[in-house]
Structure 1
């Protein structure tokens, strides 16, 4: 697939930018996420839940950036991306350890805020294999900035 450029994006508003392959999530991923985010017994002052079958919502949310970096074919030509924030996030269905997930990203808006600074809004839908409907939907804002800041 030929990579898109930032100049291509306005003509792609409303279209799917990518649909990822399936990614398995397991208890080890949840444990690593817990350690990285201080969700440990020594930090919480109590032992972590031993239910262990659910994948944290914030781990799922962190996959937005991971899937974009892996699956969005965007030629940046020296431009770097900044995480600006999220407009809306909804966790609609649980994801359990052992399930596979995949993400699709639809381009909602592109706006050049000033020369060399482009705001990109995507709707990111995470599916869990075998589940009815999406597990998570997140509208993510990224800024792409020219190396000289415009």
Structure 2
């Protein structure tokens, strides 16, 4: 059996961001386990899937991964919350996340800045974001 290449591992990490790491893959490890994201403002966590963040390392590359979601009411770019204590990003990192569908818009951009603040971008008065699902967010940190 061939061992996975770095490219294969990186592709898998980006394609399957919130699933458990495959057993037996020696080039993949959890750097920081799932920890809760502290929400700000009027954001309310999904009861069945509160927002969480972790860092995984695949073939020597660190990825910030998010999961869960929140009910929000955003008509402009707005802070969603803060990454857990001790989990910070070295540079602005971003990903696309599902949101309520309005006039064909069903994704929004979510950014994590170096202060650990998560910002949801894309809400407008004509296209209000009422919920955001963080599953699928996976961004390269290093």
Q: Which has the higher strand share?
A: 2
- Whichever of the two has the greater Rg, that structure is 1
- With normalisation by structure 2, the TM-score equals 0.28
The one of the two structures with greater contact order (alpha-carbon pairs below 8 A, sep at least 6) is 1
